[in-house]
Amino acid sequence: MAAAPASAAFIESRRRLFSALFSSVGVADHELALRRPGRDGLRDKDLPQSPAALSFPPAPMRWLTRATMGYTTQAYLDFAALGANDDARWTAWVTQQLNPASINDSGCNTRLASAGFTTLNKTANQLWTQHHAVTNDYYVRMLPISECECATLIRQIYSQRQLYEVMVDFWHDHFSVFGWDYDGGPMFPAFDRDAIRPHVFGNFRSMLQAVGESASMMYMLDLYSSEAAHPNENYARELFELHTMGAEHYGGIVQNPDSFANMTLLGHYTAPDGEEERLKYVDDDVYETARALTGWTISGANWPYDPINGVPLGQFVYDSSRHDQGIKRILARYFQASQGQTDGIVLFDMLARHPSTAKHMAGKLCRRFVGANPSNALIDNVASVFQQSWQASDQIKQVMQVILQSAEFKTGWGTAMKRPALSAVSALRATGADFTLKPDNNGSIYTPTEEFRGRLQAAGHRLFYWPAPNGYPDDQVAWSSTGTLGMTLRMLPRLLEMHQTESYNDGYPFLVDVQGQTLAAFPANQRTAATVMGYWCDRILGYRPEPTYTVAVDMLRQNASAGDVLNLATNSWNANNLSMHYTQARLRTAISLILCSPEFLRR
Amino acid sequence: MSKIDRRDFLKGCGVAAIAAGSSSRAFAYVAPPDIGPAAATNDTLVIVFLRGAMDGLSLLPPGASSPYRADYVAARSNTIIPVSGTGAALPLNGTTWALHPRASKLRDLYNQNRLAFIVGAGQAQPIPVIRSHFDAQANLEFGFGGGTGNNVGWLTRHLISGGLPAVVPLPATSFGSITSSSLLGSSDAITMASASDYRLDGFHWSWDDVDQDVPGLVGAVSRMNSLWNGNATLLESAGVETLASLDLLRPINFGLYHATNNPGGYQPTGGANYDIEYNQDFADQLRNIAQIIKLNLGMRIATIDLGSWDTHVGQGNPTQSYDWFGNMVSSLSDGLSAFYTDLASSGAGNLMNKTSVIVVSEFGRRVQENADSGTDHGYGNVMLALGGSVNGGQVYGSIPGLGTAQLYQGTDVAVTTDYRRIISEALIRRMANPNIYYVFPGYSGYTPMGVFQGPDLPPVGYDQIFAHGFEGPG
């Protein structure tokens, strides 16, 4: 067993190896070692999230970045027209966005229609018989999830109901379903359309039951197969651990949890009907909940695969023959025997109004908008509103108002970062992309949709692709790993290089018409590096922070000076005058440097 | 360049951190390690994590003459591994345990005494039998005996305390999109899903990087460094680290050799074939690890995942064509076999002599099969150890039995070997890092089982504060 040779000779031989390997890069080789003098191996996680020295964009840019799928100049102009000052404008903007039906979305709808999706409006029964039943054609079988993925991205990029799409994304993470599950995938549009979207700004209790009854969630967590003889614990456990009270309210394995001593230890509260319920859940609650939900299934999902009680295949049905009718105790509440489906109804009521659920949900919602460490005051405030309005049809709207009008939301910055999908979507929004994603079955053409989905997958953030029910993480530590950040930095410049129809074929127009937009913005005699890159900083970031602005200007100007007029029409070899060397490509590259800046990835 | 030696830097941090009190560094440095680079080895440890709870009783079922065979047969029908006929388990020398029939390459390595199994292995925690995948994985990977502590993984603590020299190009890699929890908090690790994809090549070719034919051209890849030139926030420092990682790997061709399409690509040696029937990504990542080891970049640690093994429904069995579990087993077997062959036959000698692979899963699966032809979450499981310096050809550990009276809580295989014992033996005997009680706060009573070759060192790093486990902040 050799000892690690730390001798000077060893280090010198390594230096020679790396000089040979890295000579073309021209960087001093010891800086290319991950472990080097002064680096002790521990990432410093206590670095400030948002120190005073950090560049701060103006308030509207910050708020729009945090509350939409990406800041755009147009969004800012629309915002500015809403009132006499930023606070008044923001109040009007939030109110408007919380009423999505009042927002004209014809542009997005036209684009969706042009994509030619065929599965998104199919009923659960149609999805079941026309896709779930297909076993010899994987493309047809999985077309529903494929189209739903594309349609969701189109909405994120183009919908005017931006806050709504932000919250659709939140709820899909919260009730995370692996969209490409063999059974759940063909049913996915029903999950998105009927279980999630109608309740996004509505009522959590309603969403909770709708999600539980959805085939996609049933398959994700095996509820469809749960029956009295063999109750399935999977959904019951995640219902507590993820969907409602959260793992932080897990009390462990406790014998006799409803004893006076243990009720005191675990905490309890008085429910609206006067019953005492525990504040923490224990394993027995999971088992009893599994029993309570037996019989909740999908018509046709279990042998002999015939419709149950006349309910069409693929739809939710309560099958009393599979239900455990015995008495149960959940969170110390007594469930009498033979209550059938009411067991589950009462259970969902309990969980939706429970203070631990309010606390858990408040924490998640605050972290999405405010960043990793929202104050306890804000969380408690949000939890209080969440709990008190648990029966209100506008419960989530009320909660959103509290968060979006909070000082923490309005004054904070840099406490979070864009996850890869958001960085890509916001890049496409800010640069005015023309991108109608749609699936295709042509193996020989590599479409931009395929490339986009593949690159999101490589960055670890493809939509509906997280395999576990806990959803994609929502914290900076996870998304700032070298792998995901590296693949994001690899992906973003490609967005300006990708072509319509066939991604690498320059016979087709670009997804983003950089050239056209730049020429239209300035008459020829004003096209200098300073003005052009200033324009694109304004488009993408809303301001011109350093060093990003200067790096972009330097990239574009090369040996010219920042105020020299550039000929943006050229795009050919000119090694003798770099300011004329592949200028159009250089312009796209300079803009992609803005996309690759920390300011763009900051929230 | 800084003249501060690493140990002084660490000590300085330690003092400041203890004074500061509650920062994440404080907890990591309460027991400052003190082992010099000369004592450590440059072995590589590869941790393969089988995500989703692998059914150890199907990978290593009781064989025909096993005292547990009868109880096994009583509990398993649709998921059973028979001992005769189609799909029969493979007998193993010197033990009554047998091997899943689709792990024939692992059987070969076992017969060459290079592969060992450990039964009844798992996490023995103060609150027993965590049934949640996330919690069990987190507990195992953070290594605090339960909970996430200060969100620093056990491998991070090993790298800090393991006597790395002052300059190591690439101490660790985590294969996957998101960093493995065991390496969380480490600035020594690169995370990537595919080494050949890990490069900045999104810019137009004319302006992406240095072009020999265009003097003075400074491309976007180089200019990125100017955008991320600070360390003021978490995001900035992550960017700097990411760009450094990308720079490091950029000149390396990680693609597979192909005479016309990729003549500069990687050529496995010894006839190693990384082309496997399922889970090709797993084999590709193993190939990347082998290549990095051969490149002598100083990589001590690699983590890699294979999943999902969460066979609640339709686990399958090898007597029939539907054998989902067996597909996963074949990936593990064929992938590890290619990896072994490739490194054992390298031009620089048998590199498997200084490479050890440990295979672990978060818990096992219940003995009694369920009504969906699958198995539910259990407790005790099987671990594997593979390497040129492994005392293979044996099954280590024992279980009380598979009858109801011998099962934990009447349902699960018991845990009789703490997973930390196996890992600690590798850290001491292979990596020469005795700081196992620093790596695993709250762990005590270590003795070697004999799985790995190498000298024993007295374990250190035991700290009174952590005598009863690590509480962690908040």
The residue type found at B219 is: G
**Both A294 and A379 in a single domain?**
no
Q: Strands A296-298 and A316-318, how do they pair?
A: antiparallel
Instruction: Determine contact: A497 vs chain B, CB below 8 A.
Output: yes
Question: Cα distance from A229 to chain B (closest Cα, Å)?
Answer: 9
Are B251 and A21 within 8 A, CB to CB?
yes
Q: How far apart are CA A163 and CA A403, in angstroms?
A: 13
**Both A196 and A112 in a single domain?**
yes
Are B232 and A51 within 8 A, CB to CB?
yes
Instruction: Determine contact: A303 vs chain B, CB below 8 A.
Output: no
Are A578 and B201 within 8 A, CB to CB?
no
User: What are the b/e assignments for A370-409, b being 16+ CB within 10 Å?
Assistant: bbeebeeebbebbbbbbbebbeeeebbbbbbbbbbebebb
3-state secondary structure of A478: helix
* pLDDT exceeds 50 at position B29: no
Task: Determine the pLDDT at residue B75.
Answer: 97
- On whether the CB atoms of residues A213 and A296 are closer than 8 A, the answer is yes
Are B191 and A482 within 8 A, CB to CB?
yes
Are A547 and B160 within 8 A, CB to CB?
no
Higher local confidence (pLDDT), B238 or B111: B111
Are A458 and B194 within 8 A, CB to CB?
yes
Domain range enclosing A266: 223-353
* pLDDT exceeds 90 at position B60: yes
A264, part of any domain? yes
Chain A residue with CA closest to B430: the answer is A1
Question: Cα distance from A290 to chain B (closest Cα, Å)?
Answer: 14
Chain A residues closer than 8 Å to B25 by CB:
42, 44, 46
* pLDDT exceeds 70 at position B36: no
3-state secondary structure of A338: coil
| H-helix or E-strand spanning residue B288 | helix B280-294
- Residue A309's alpha-carbon distances to A294, A339, B371, in angstroms, are 16, 18, 23
Chain B residues closer than 8 Å to A37 by CB:
1-6, 9, 166-167
Instruction: Determine contact: A38 vs chain B, CB below 8 A.
Output: yes
Q: Give the number of other CB atoms < 10 A from CB of residue A248.
A: 11
A508, part of any domain? no
Q: How far apart are CA B346 and CA B266, in angstroms?
A: 12
A582, part of any domain? yes
Beta strands in A275-327 (DSSP E): 276-278, 281-282, 296-298, 316-318
Are B6 and A22 within 8 A, CB to CB?
no
- On whether the CB atoms of residues A237 and A286 are closer than 8 A, the answer is yes
Task: Determine the pLDDT at residue B429.
Answer: 97
The residue type found at B33 is: P
**Both A287 and A167 in a single domain?**
no
Q: How far apart are CA A600 and CA A597, in angstroms?
A: 5
Task: Determine the pLDDT at residue B276.
Answer: 97
pLDDT digits (tens, 9 = 90+) for A360-412: 999 999 999 999 889 999 999 999 999 999 999 999 999 999 999 999 999 99
**Both A232 and A347 in a single domain?**
yes
Q: How far apart are CA A188 and CA A169, in angstroms?
A: 15
Q: How far apart are CA A184 and CA A465, in angstroms?
A: 12
* pLDDT exceeds 70 at position B15: no
Instruction: Determine contact: A230 vs chain B, CB below 8 A.
Output: yes
Question: What is the distance of C-alpha A367 from the center of its chain?
Answer: 13
* Percent of residues in chain B assigned helix, strand, coil, to nearest 5: 35, 15, 55
Class of residue A113 by CB neighbours under 10 A (exposed 0-12, middle 13-18, buried 19+) = exposed
Torsion of CA B71, B72, B74, B80, to 10 degrees: -170
Nearest to A593 by CA among A549, A529, A559: A549
* pLDDT exceeds 90 at position B335: yes
Are A598 and B250 within 8 A, CB to CB?
no
- On whether the CB atoms of residues B386 and B114 are closer than 8 A, the answer is yes
Mean pLDDT score, B249-268: 95
The residue type found at B29 is: Y
Task: Determine the pLDDT at residue A46.
Answer: 63
A198, part of any domain? yes
Phi, psi for A355 (deg, rounded to 5): -60, -30
Task: Determine the pLDDT at residue B463.
Answer: 55
Task: Determine the pLDDT at residue B468.
Answer: 45
Structure tokens at A543: 């301001």
Question: Is the preceding omega at residue A189 within 30 degrees of 0, hence cis?
Answer: no
Higher local confidence (pLDDT), A512 or A481: A512
- Which residue of A12, A40, A303 to mutate against B (max B Cβ within 10 Å)? A40
Q: Strands B189-192 and B172-175, how do they pair?
A: parallel
Chain B residues closer than 8 Å to A487 by CB:
177, 192-193, 197-198
**Both A321 and A228 in a single domain?**
yes
- On whether the CB atoms of residues A220 and A180 are closer than 8 A, the answer is no
A479, part of any domain? no
**Both A299 and A343 in a single domain?**
yes
Task: Determine the pLDDT at residue A25.
Answer: 30
The residue type found at A574 is: N
Domains in chain A, number: 4
- On whether the CB atoms of residues A112 and A161 are closer than 8 A, the answer is no
Could you say which of B128, B165, B243 has the minimum Cβ distance to residue A4?
Answer: B165
Could you say which of B6, B176, B238 has the minimum Cβ distance to residue A40?
Answer: B6
Chain B residues closer than 8 Å to A494 by CB:
202
pLDDT digits (tens, 9 = 90+) for B287-320: 999 999 999 999 999 999 998 898 988 899 999 9
Are B235 and A253 within 8 A, CB to CB?
no
Could you say which of B204, B223, B231 has the minimum Cβ distance to residue A588?
Answer: B204
Confidence label for A30 from pLDDT (cuts 50, 70 and 90):
low
Confidence label for B37 from pLDDT (cuts 50, 70 and 90):
low
Are A49 and B3 within 8 A, CB to CB?
no
Nearest to B140 by CA among B254, B258, B47, B3: B47
A495, part of any domain? no
For the whole model, what pTM was predicted? 0.87
Instruction: Determine contact: A225 vs chain B, CB below 8 A.
Output: yes
* pLDDT exceeds 70 at position A221: yes
pLDDT digits (tens, 9 = 90+) for A283-332: 899 999 999 999 999 999 998 999 999 999 999 999 999 999 999 999 99
Greatest CA separation for chain B: 78
**Both A154 and A198 in a single domain?**
yes
Chain B residues closer than 8 Å to A3 by CB:
38-41, 432
A134, part of any domain? yes
Which residues, numbered 569 to 588 in chain A, qualify as contacts with chain B under a Cβ-Cβ cut-off of 8 Å? 575, 578, 581-582, 585-586, 588
**Both A243 and A336 in a single domain?**
yes
Task: Determine the pLDDT at residue B462.
Answer: 64
Could you say which of A5, A25, A42 has the minimum Cβ distance to residue B25?
Answer: A42
- Percent pLDDT > 70 in chain B is 88
pLDDT digits (tens, 9 = 90+) for B369-415: 988 899 988 999 999 999 999 999 999 999 999 999 999 988 899 99
Q: Strands B189-192 and A333-335, how do they pair?
A: unpaired
Instruction: Determine contact: A6 vs chain B, CB below 8 A.
Output: yes
- Mean pLDDT for chain A? 92
Q: Give the number of other CB atoms < 10 A from CB of residue B146.
A: 19
Structure tokens at A590: 């300079």
| H-helix or E-strand spanning residue B135 | helix B133-142
Could you say which of B167, B201, B430 has the minimum Cβ distance to residue A35?
Answer: B167
pLDDT digits (tens, 9 = 90+) for A426-441: 999 999 999 999 999 8
- On whether the CB atoms of residues B112 and B393 are closer than 8 A, the answer is yes
A27-31, A246-250, A314-318: which is most confident: A314-318
- Residue B396's alpha-carbon distances to A228, B59, B81, B392, B427, in angstroms, are 40, 15, 21, 10, 18
- Which residue of B50, B137, B178, B288 to mutate against A (max A Cβ within 10 Å)? B178
* pLDDT exceeds 90 at position A351: yes
* pLDDT exceeds 80 at position B328: yes
- Which residue of B227, B252, B389 to mutate against A (max A Cβ within 10 Å)? B227
* pLDDT exceeds 50 at position B196: yes
3-state secondary structure of A129: helix
- On whether the CB atoms of residues A290 and A263 are closer than 8 A, the answer is no
For tokens 């190591």, name the residue.
B168
**Both A309 and A383 in a single domain?**
no
Are A252 and B152 within 8 A, CB to CB?
no
For tokens 């999830």, name the residue.
A145
A138, part of any domain? yes
Nearest to B447 by CA among B414, B413, B417: B417
Question: Is the preceding omega at residue B308 within 30 degrees of 0, hence cis?
Answer: yes
Question: Is the preceding omega at residue A144 within 30 degrees of 0, hence cis?
Answer: no
Which residues, numbered 526 to 565 in chain A, qualify as contacts with chain B under a Cβ-Cβ cut-off of 8 Å? 547-548, 551, 554-555
Chain A residues closer than 8 Å to B133 by CB:
468
Are A458 and B184 within 8 A, CB to CB?
no
Are A45 and B190 within 8 A, CB to CB?
no
* pLDDT exceeds 60 at position B41: yes
Task: Determine the pLDDT at residue B2.
Answer: 31
- On whether the CB atoms of residues A214 and A316 are closer than 8 A, the answer is yes
**Both A569 and A595 in a single domain?**
yes
Nearest to B6 by CA among B160, B170, B156, B186: B160
Chain B residues closer than 8 Å to A233 by CB:
131, 376
Instruction: Determine contact: A25 vs chain B, CB below 8 A.
Output: yes
**Both A174 and A292 in a single domain?**
no
- Residue B312's alpha-carbon distances to B52, B136, B327, in angstroms, are 10, 17, 16
Nearest to A305 by CA among A220, A218, A225: A225
Confidence label for B22 from pLDDT (cuts 50, 70 and 90):
very low
pLDDT digits (tens, 9 = 90+) for A53-65: 567 899 999 999 9
Nearest to B431 by CA among B50, B45, B102: B45
Question: Cα distance from B336 to chain A (closest Cα, Å)?
Answer: 23
Question: What is the distance of C-alpha A353 from the center of its chain?
Answer: 26
> Is the CA virtual torsion A563, A567, A569, A572 positive or negative?
negative
Confidence label for B30 from pLDDT (cuts 50, 70 and 90):
very low
- On whether the CB atoms of residues B264 and A510 are closer than 8 A, the answer is no
Task: Determine the pLDDT at residue B155.
Answer: 96
Question: What is the distance of C-alpha A546 from the center of its chain?
Answer: 29
**Both A361 and A297 in a single domain?**
no
Nearest to B164 by CA among B61, B299, B26, B287: B299
pLDDT digits (tens, 9 = 90+) for A525-580: 999 999 999 999 999 999 999 899 999 999 999 999 999 999 999 999 999 999 99
Chain A residue with CA closest to B204: the answer is A585
Question: Cα distance from B325 to chain A (closest Cα, Å)?
Answer: 17
- On whether the CB atoms of residues B387 and B413 are closer than 8 A, the answer is no
Structure tokens at A236: 């019951």
3-state secondary structure of A547: coil
